[in-house]
Every structure is written in C-alpha cells, then in structure tokens.
Chains A and B, each alone.
Chain A
Amino acid sequence: MNPTQIAEGKAVGQGVLRVDAEAKVAGQARYIDDLGFPGMVHAQVVRSDRPHARLRRLDLSPVLAHPKVVAVVTPRDIPGQNCVPIIYRDMPALAEDVVRYVGEPVALVAAETREAAREAALRARIDFEDLPAVFDPLEALNPGAPQAAVREAAEQGNVFNAMRIRKGNVEEGFAQADVIVEGEYRVGYQEHLYLEPQGVIAVPEEGGMTVYGSLQCPFYVQNAVATVLGLPFAKVRIVQTVTGGGFGGKEDVPSHLAAMAALLAWKSKRPVKLVYDRDEDIATTSKRHPGIIRYRTGAKRDGTLTAVEVEFFYNAGAYQTLSSAVLWRGLIHAAGPYRIPHVKVDGYSVATHTVPCGAFRGFGSPQVIFAHESQMDELAKALGMDPLALRAKNALRVGDRTATDQVLEESVGLWECIERVRALARWDELQREVEEFNRRERFRRRGLGVSTVMYGVGMGAKAPLLDKAGAYVKLEVDGSVTVAVGTTEMGQGAQTVLSQIAAEALGVPISSVQIAPVDTSRVPDSGPTVASRTTTVQGQAIVDAAAKLRQRIDQAVRLILECPQFTLEGQTFCASGAARRRATLADVARWMWAHNWDMGATGWVEAAPVDWDPQTGLGKAYFVYSYAAHLAEVEVDLLTGEVKVTRFWAVHDSGKIVNPDTARGQVLGGIAQGIGYALLEELVSQDGRILYPTLTAYHIPTSADVPEVAVEFGEAPYSAGPFGAKGLGEVPLMASHVAVANAISRAVGRRLRQYPALPQRVLELVEGGLG
C-alpha cells in the first residue's frame, strides 16, 4: 500500500528561509575558532621553505626549550602510518626525507598559546639539501625533468594521470568541416577564500580521538585520523562544526589538518586546536588547478559541429590529492554540452614542486569550459553566426549522444535554457542597445557574451563507490522529526533543502524538522558532500526513509481512527465516512510511542549505475546532467583596460528546484565567483612560492563588482531525484566566467585567451586594434 500524500507541495518548491540564517546573522553560530576545551593547547605547523630538498637534519631542541611548548611531533612520533589517504596514498602527514613543495609540513608544535606556538615553531632548525625542482607542468613532462611525483603514485615520470576519450574519428570529422578554429588557453590558480579559514580541534578521549572541524567530508577525515594514529575507525569520531564555506577547499584539506592535530593531541594527551590564519591558508592549502588547454573545433557552414580535439594539462602540484578525479571531470566535460560525432580528448595531470591543488567548485571543468566556450564564440565569429543560435543548434537533447557516447535518456533542459535566456535578456534588442552604446561612447565599449554548460551530477563513473547516501528519519513523541544524514551544511543551504525534502516526504511542516549535527558515530556514511550531489542523492535517501516511516504512520492512523480510509485536512487526519474521529500527527506519534512502535526508519540510496571504459573514454559517465545558459554584458574602458560587468542573465536546468530562494543564492554566488575567476583573481607564484598570500593582493569580487542578475529556472525533472531534483551548486560558477570572457572578447574584438582579464592584459588586447 502506498503511503498517502499529505500536504503535498507544501515544502518542496517553496522559498523557505534558510534554517541556519538566524544564528549566522545574529553571530550566534559557533565556528571552530569559537570553541575551546579544558586544557586545550594550540598547534603550529613547521613548514618547508624549499620547493624540493632533502631533509638532512631537523633540530627541534630550541623549540622544546620554549617555556610554553607542550609537545612537538616529527614523523618518528606517528603511531600509525605517515600518510594522508585521499585517492592515492602518496602524501605524508609530515615530510620524512624529502620535501616537495614550499609550505609542506615537516614537524608540529603545540604550545599553551597560539602566539607561543608560532614563536616556538620559528625556532626550528632545519638543514635542507636543495634538489632540482620543476614548477611548470609542460617542463615537468620533459625527459630528464626533476622528479616531482612520488613514483608509485604516477603513471609515468611526472604524469600523475593521463586520460582520454576517442569517439568516432576526428580526422574524418575535421575533413567534413568547413571551418576550423584553434586556440590555446591558459588559466592560473583560483583560491577558494571561504570566509572561515581551515581549522580543527582534536580531543583525545576514551582511548580514541574525536576531531571537531570545519569540513565537508567527515568520513574522509575519519579515515585520515585512523590511519595516522593506527586506530580502528570505531575509535575515531569526527564532528563537523558550523562551517563557514568550503567550495571544495574543505573536501580533502581537513583530512591533513585533522591528522596533524590528532598527532599532537595523541602525544600531548591534551585537546589541540589547529586553525590557519588567512595567509597560511592561502599559501599552503589546495586551489583550483592551473591549466594549459589546446582546442581545435570543426563545424559545417551551417554551424553543425563535426569534430573537437582537445589536449589539456593541469598542474596538480606535488601530491595526487584529488587530481585524478579533477582531471576526469575535466575530461568528460571537455567537449561541452554539444552533439559532436567525432571527439578526441587527452588530459594530463602533472606533478610539479608546487602546493597540491584539489577540489574547487566545478572540479576541473571551469578550465576546459573557458576553452570550449571561447571556441564556440570563435566559431560563431568565423561562421558569421549568432553565438546563441550556434549553441542552440548543437545543444544536446533527449536521445542524443554525449562526447562519451552516452545516450541521454531524460531530463535535458539545455535547449530550453538557451531559448529562455534569449527571451529573458531580450537578446535582439539588447544587441541593438550595445551597438548604440558603442557608437555613442568614445573610450568605452560594451560587449555581450554567452555560455552554455552541462554538469555531470554526482561522483560519476570514476568514483561510483562513493555515490551512496543514508538517512535516518525519526518521528519524535510530540510529532516533530529528527533527520540524521552524513552530508554536511557548509553554507550552501543543504540543511534547509534537506529539511524541505523531509517535510514534503513526511507531510509535516518544515518547522518540525530538525537536521541532526553531523557526527561520524551517529550518522550514516553518505559519501562526500561534493559534486553537487547532496540534494539529489542525499535527498533521495531521506525520501526512502520517510516513505518507510509514512507506511507505519498510516497504519497507526488507521488503527487510531478505526477505519481503513482517512483524509487529511491541514495537519489533521480525519476518518472518512460517518465517524468523526480526528488525530493530529502529534496524537499519532504519541500513540505509536505508547504502543512501543519503532518510530525511526533508515533510508538508503545508491546512485543509478554508471559505466565508463578508460581505454576508449566512452560510456555512461554520469547518471544525469544539469545545464545552464548564461549571458553577460561587460563594459571595457579603452583607456585603462578596466572591465566592469554591467548586466547578467542566467537560466538553469537543475530539475525540480526545491527552494527557489536558496537556488537563486547559489546562482548569484557562483556568478560572483566566476566574475572573480575571469577578471580579478590572480595568485602570483614564483619558483613554487606563493608570493603574496594576502587579501590585499588577491582580489575577490566585492558587491560593487557583481551586477544585478536575472535568474530563471527551467526545470526538466529527473525521475530518480527527490521530487525530480538534480544538482545545482557548481553549475553557476562553471558557466559564468566564460560568459564574461566572451563578452570582453566581443567588446574589444580580440580574443582573451588567458585569465584573469586584468586591466593590463585587456589594455594589451585593446592596443592590438579594436575589431
């Protein structure tokens, strides 16, 4: 018997206020650095200041001589394995014989105060023997280049991973093309700049270790702490604290912090706080991979794409961390959301003696998207075609095959996104306005840029083992509901959206749902909180649990009302027919409790199967895709090269939108971050050293840099998502930056092939002659 539908449409689809908003706005939310434990000491990491060197001698006696120092840790003090396990096991918690990047941890200090720990750490005496180093990924591929990769973690030399797609025959495809465009594109680092820097507190207790922290993936952290301490997982408990932003930066890095804090706590037998300050965070934690991306795209005179050939190189840094997965997502997304019969892609993640790169919103796709969407505009120009029309013509639709030859069976809203953004922005009129502006203005030029993207939701075929989620839903005796899940709130709004899904599935008001704190000893492992998967995969696990609980509730209602049929009026169950019996959910809960019924239900979901062949690069890469079309208007100052984004339009298909307000927030935030990527964010490094790891030098957008944005959702429902939902979180960033880049190129008539479009770079384009 199916559970009856109660209060349908009351929670999902509503712009419910963020459940965590009030505490955060009022300053009541307690972040990691707000927390303390009796006897807590403070950690400081002693780091390498060399990009590649042999560690000849490490003398910590002057550190220990500091009166406030409580403990030091070197690799010899590690009871378990000296390894931070991520995908590979090449990265040590503390460098042992060789350091491979500037900033690599070599020892740990705990002291009574943070200042003392800092002072003491500076006293460490380290003898390095410098070794040859390599910083550029192309140089690292040369024969005889210094070896950056740990050999066991690399496919060959400094190539961590090489991946490819071979679909059709590109030679044939290019032979069919009337027009071929070609280009090389370059991007540098992007820093996450979450508001709250990285931080953890390790507390030794009950023969094990508990780590509190600002983190996205508690079960990754559990693995890391168990590994370095040599403890059973059951003795290691990870508690996520209120997390002030992640964007991928708190996917893998907290494992390293937690391992280090846990080692100090284990040795000192005291709680240890390790919180980075901003400079340390920028200089030593993961970033978006810099890339060199080469494209060739062919099309027939009518705009039909015939072939794309891509070769791209990502600078992974000194250790694997998540680079293989980042590379894979870049590979799968390299050809864009288009129908292309012949595709050849080769991607390489390359080790260098630089800070390890990792996960960042978009996860390896924004780099290749900069290239593929630039190519589409170059093609449109070469063909004399409207750039939106060219995209619409080639846009994937239901039944089409992707670059990996996957047949799209459902939920493909791309074409609708393109048409809706055209209408939303009044495309034809807008182009006339811009032309008029450019005729009128002497030293300013406006330009319009578009972009379309697809996004594979979830882990995909490279990591299917992680694409699962569990949920425990419990009806409390008073009718309120507690939900325990293993995915996390990091500021993206997951608690709110998951509460809405639980409320909808159970037919209760959202105010009666409470998401439990994430503690690995109390919540199911739901895989990592990444890949825009939480709403889709975690949400479905809640639906599964709620359905089981609903069956029991319905059964109880029938017994209470003493009739087989009942209706629901508001939140009250009413017996149908002559009997006038009624019961609220609180009455039902009380009855279930009084009759010793099981009031909890567990839900489990495994994402739809995927399958991909590494030899050909073909297969079902992801279970479903989200789509977007963005349109940006920029204004370029021809005298200074300054660029201002003046207007922006965005239409997204992420299936059913659970909360239009928080979804809109995701879109605005992603656009802001994309504007930063395209225009502002430059992290200068030299010989493996981040030169200015400060907010004075690294510019992220202010509110003045982000224009008004018009946002719409085209909701192509996904049958296996909760109420038809797909993922959204990463997509806005992926689409936005290149719409801006295309708008700049259009405004100045010359192609921007490198991010960020700093005034100096744009003025050089302008000086090359206005097109």
Chain B
Amino acid sequence: MFGPIVKPKDLREAVQRVAEGGRPLAGGTDLFVRIRKGLEKPGMLVYVGELPELGVLRATREGLEIGAARTHSELLESPLTEPFPILRKTLGTIASPALRAMGTLGGNLVNASPAGDSLVALYLLEAQVRIVGPQGERELFVQEFIQGPGKTGLRPGELVVSVFLPYVEGEPVSYFRKVGRRQALYISVVSLGALVWLDGEKITKARLALGSVAPTVVRPRAVEEALVGRLAHVEAVQDLVSLLSSLVQPISDLRASADYRRKVSGNLLLDLALFLQNRK
C-alpha cells in the first residue's frame, strides 16, 4: 500500500528525504486513512514525529512557538497554551480523545481542510508558519500558507517545523462554536470563532473566523470592522447577520447545503452576541 517508513536522524535528513519525494508522517490520523482508501500511494513515508525541532513548545516574550509534531492533547494539557484559550477551545473539539492523542497541530495545518478546527484559532491569532526546505527556512502567515482545500504554500521538499502564535494584546473574550451533525467526533459543517475586545458592553475590536464555509477559513473583515463601537447585544448586531452570510462562499456537500451554511454563518453572529451578553 505504501513504501518504506524512514526515520531521519535529524531535520536535515528529513528535508533531504522529503525533497526526494518522501511524504512527512507525524500522527498519521489523516494520512493513513487516505492511504487505506487508495487516495495516496506515497513511495516513502518520512517519520518526523520525533524530530526535536518539531517537538518544541517554547514561550518567548512575543509569543508561543509550537512544534509541528505536538499533539492536540499535549497542547490542551500544557500550561503554556493557557494564554490562548481560543486554541484550546478549537483543539478540544477535534475528533475524539484517541485521535487527539495522535493527531498533531502541524498535521491539521498541512491538511489545509476548510473544516480544520485548529485553523480557526490560528487565523484568529494570526499565526506564523515556520517552514524549512532545501533552500533554508522561511515564514508565512497562516492565511498565506493555506491556499485552498488541501493546498498549501509548501514548495517541493519543504516541511512545516513549527507554528508561532504571537500574544494578543489585552484580554479578548474567546468564542468558538462548531456546528455539526452530532455531539462529538464530527467534522464541522460551519464553525465560528471569535476574539472580541470589550470596553464594558461595547465592542472595541473583533476578530472573526469561519470554518467550512469557503475553500479556506474566512476572516470576515467587513463584519469585524462593523462590530467596532457596537454594544455586545443581540439587537445591536442583528443587521450584520446578512452581511456575514454574504461574506462566505460555501459549497454543498454530503454534510450540508451551501444555503444552510450561509444561513448558519450569519445566525452564529447572534449566538456570539448572546454569548457576550450572557458572559459574566
């Protein structure tokens, strides 16, 4: 079904193997499913799960660097992710405990699924993706890195080493709502994440990100801007529901129709407003 699995001794060898056409393997929670279904037939798998560079978890003055091979459960449990409640909220909804123990942040990222739950947090936090390849290292913002369903800015031979999350200023309220077809272990049909800065009941700044409603996670800038200066109340944002619906480009698939996704994208703004209103 697939070629040999090699375990490079260091990052340099890993890059070399990947440049030879090897497919990086960390948790394997998506890759092995794809291989089993015959969607991919990699000639060689390059196991990067234990490379030290991909296992970093380091807080600096500017932010947090997370190695690409860190698992979702490690990140959920680490005290270092405490300043990023939105990350924890999204990671906590990924798949099941068993899969969270295997799946990695880097894997979720390079999968580049519009439904990737962690991506909503990475977009909200304006994360930077650190890449290494035959030509050396470079960095991309997550929104530059993700180019479409399954498509990333990785060039041949490159692999993701880590993700850098800059600290956000102030203390925004974190909100994440994942809509799907059951209570756990599901792929999102629509998701909305938000960081909202409040002065009393007034919104001073907002970042919103929607999953599963476009080829990539969407930041609805027009709504983010329109929210500034408004009260965090359902009534105060009612008129933005249709604007938000108009900013997404969903498709119809087996999980839901485009129409449903558009409608719910807008409706979730009301859920966010109610959440802010009820928050104490």
Q: Interface of A with B (CB < 8 Å)?
A: 115, 442-443, 639-642, 644, 679-680, 684, 691-692, 696-697, 699, 701-705, 758-760, 763
Contact = CB atoms under 8 A, between A and B. Distances in A.
A763 B260 contact: yes
Contact of B182 (A639, A692, A699, A763): A699
Interface stretch (B76-84, B215-223, B267-275): B267-275
Given A641-B264, A692-B254, A699-B186, 15 more contacts: A115-B1, A639-B270, A641-B260, A680-B181, A691-B254, A699-B182, A702-B184, A704-B182, A704-B183, A705-B183, A705-B184, A759-B189, A760-B257, A760-B260, A763-B264
22 contacts: A115-B1, A639-B267, A640-B179, A641-B264, A642-B179, A642-B180, A691-B254, A692-B254, A696-B187, A699-B182, A699-B186, A702-B96, A702-B183, A703-B184, A704-B183, A704-B185, A705-B182, A758-B256, A759-B179, A759-B181, A759-B260, A763-B263
Contacts of A641: 260, 264
A641 to B, nearest CB: 8
B59 interface: no
A640 B264 contact: yes
Given A760-B257, A763-B260, A640 B267 contact: yes
B234 to A, nearest CB: 7
A701 B182 contact: yes
Nearest to B241: A639
A699 B186 CA distance: 8
In the complex, the 5 A-B pairs of residues with the closest C-beta atoms, listed nearest first: A704-B183, A639-B267, A704-B184, A760-B260, A702-B184
A443 B256 contact: no
Contacts of A704: 182-185
A642 B268 CA distance: 12
A680 B185 CA distance: 13
A508 B1 CA distance: 55
A695 B270 CA distance: 32
Contact of B268 (A442, A640, A697, A699): A640
B189 A443 contact: no
Contacts of A703: 184
Interface of B: 1, 96, 179-187, 189-190, 234, 254, 256-257, 260, 263-264, 267-268, 270-271, 274
A691 B264 CA distance: 25
A723 B234 CA distance: 61
B189 A639 contact: no
A761 B280 CA distance: 34
A639 B260 CA distance: 11
Contacts of B184: 702-705
Chain B binding surface SS class: loop
A679 B271 CA distance: 22
Given A443-B271, A684-B254, A696-B187, A758 B182 contact: no
A24 B181 CA distance: 31
A680 to B, nearest CB: 6
Given A702-B183, A702-B185, A705-B182, A760 B271 contact: no
Contact of A639 (B1, B254, B257, B271): B271
A646 to B, nearest CB: 11
B181 A758 contact: yes
Contacts of A115: 1
A279 to B, nearest CB: 8
Contacts of B183: 644, 702, 704-705
B103 to A, nearest CB: 15
Contacts of B254: 684, 691-692, 697
A699 B181 contact: yes
A703 B267 CA distance: 28
Contacts of B185: 702, 704
A701 B183 CA distance: 8
Residue among A639, A642, A680 facing the most chain B CB atoms (10 A cut-off): A639
Nearest to B177: A640
A232 to B, nearest CB: 43
Nearest to B33: A696
Contacts of A443: 270-271, 274
Nearest to B186: A699
A633 to B, nearest CB: 15
A427 to B, nearest CB: 26
Nearest to A638: B267
Residue among A115, A640, A697 facing the most chain B CB atoms (10 A cut-off): A640
Contacts of A759: 179-181, 189, 256, 260, 264
Nearest to B267: A639
Contacts of A640: 179, 190, 264, 267-268, 271
A443 B278 CA distance: 13
A454 B178 CA distance: 39
A699 B254 CA distance: 12
Contacts of B260: 641, 759-760, 763
A763 B264 CA distance: 9
A704 B97 CA distance: 13
A93 to B, nearest CB: 28
A122 to B, nearest CB: 10
A145 to B, nearest CB: 28
A680 B189 CA distance: 14
Nearest to B179: A640
A639 B264 contact: yes
Contacts of B1: 115
Contacts of A642: 179-180
A647 B186 CA distance: 22
Contacts of A699: 181-182, 186
A696 B30 CA distance: 12
Contacts of B256: 758-760
A701 B185 CA distance: 10
A679 B181 CA distance: 8
Contacts of B263: 763
A705 to B, nearest CB: 5
Contacts of A692: 254
Residue among A115, A644, A691, A697 facing the most chain B CB atoms (10 A cut-off): A697
Contacts of A684: 254
A320 to B, nearest CB: 31
A708 to B, nearest CB: 14
Residue among B180, B182, B270 facing the most chain A CB atoms (10 A cut-off): B182
A639 B181 contact: no
A127 to B, nearest CB: 24
B182 A702 contact: yes
A29 B252 CA distance: 44
B40 to A, nearest CB: 16
Contacts of B264: 639-641, 759, 763
A507 to B, nearest CB: 47
Nearest to B187: A696
B134 to A, nearest CB: 35
A432 B77 CA distance: 41
Contacts of B271: 443, 639-640
Contacts of B267: 639-640
B268 to A, nearest CB: 7
A400 B271 CA distance: 52
Contacts of B179: 640, 642, 759
Given A704-B183, A705-B182, A442 B189 contact: no
Contacts of A760: 256-257, 260
A684 B190 CA distance: 20
A697 to B, nearest CB: 5
A642 B180 CA distance: 7
A760 B263 CA distance: 10
B251 to A, nearest CB: 14
A639 B177 CA distance: 12
Contacts of B181: 680, 699, 758-759
A696 B188 CA distance: 12
A329 B187 CA distance: 37
A703 B96 CA distance: 11
